[in-house]
Amino acid sequence: MWTDAGLHERLREIPGVEDVVPTAEGALWLVCSPDARRTAVEPAARTALADAGVAAVPIECVIRASTLQRERVRFDRIERVEERDNQIHIKVCLEWGGAIHEGSATGERGLAIEIRTAATATIAALEKALGSSLDVRLIGVKQVRAFDAELIVVSVTRNTDRQKLVGIVVMGEDPRRAAALAVLNALNRTLGNLLLRT
């Protein structure tokens, strides 16, 4: 079903849809521009799927954070330290304003937990760089395969307006590093607004 290039193209033609990401569980993520309206995108996607003879497919409409047109917080490095009792400690270092800001988190060993721990450490490092809370909640971090590429996807929610933001990064050799970069990707717009006031 997801190899149907015509269906993919039709979904991408929906106003506001920038990319289509099928998941291993059979759901469909529509990555949308910051100004897209979910109430318009989802019915149009349902119509396209129905016309293609596809029914009962979970659809998730996620809003892409807009690209900053100003200096960004930059990823510096990530460190992983194994501790006792099956625990790992992850430290993420970010550069902003000529200084390095560190955030850390501890979790259990295992890739799924470690990439979430890396995302948590990244949020902590961002809050130190900004000197204030981001007021976001980490919903999840997941490794998915789409179009012959392994991706790390991070989803966060802004507590102020409950808007869901998603960051997607090609995994590469270090999935923990990819998780940190996906957090930065997801929060670009929020960070841009906050950095203007610092």
The predicted-structure confidence for 58-108, as pLDDT tens digits, reads as follows 888 777 665 444 457 788 999 999 988 889 999 999 987 778 999 999 999
Burial class (CB in 10 A: 0-12, 13-18, 19+), 86: exposed
Residues 186 and 137: their CA atoms lie apart, in Å, by: 12
Residues 17 and 154: their CA atoms lie apart, in Å, by: 19
Q: SS3 of 107, please?
A: strand
Out of 24-33, 39-48, 114-123, the most confident range is: 114-123
Structure tokens at 188: 């670009």
| CATH class of the 74-195 domain in this structure | alpha beta
pLDDT of residue 135: 82
Residues 5 and 30: their CA atoms lie apart, in Å, by: 15
Q: At what angle do helices 188-195 and 111-130 cross, to 10 degrees?
A: 20
Max Cα distance, the chain (Å): 56
The arrangement of strands across the sheet holding 87-96 comes to 74-82, 87-96, 99-108
Residues 11 and 8: their CA atoms lie apart, in Å, by: 5
Residues 63 and 186: their CA atoms lie apart, in Å, by: 9
pLDDT of residue 117: 96
pLDDT of residue 189: 62
Structure tokens at 187: 């929060």
Beta bridge partners of 105: 90
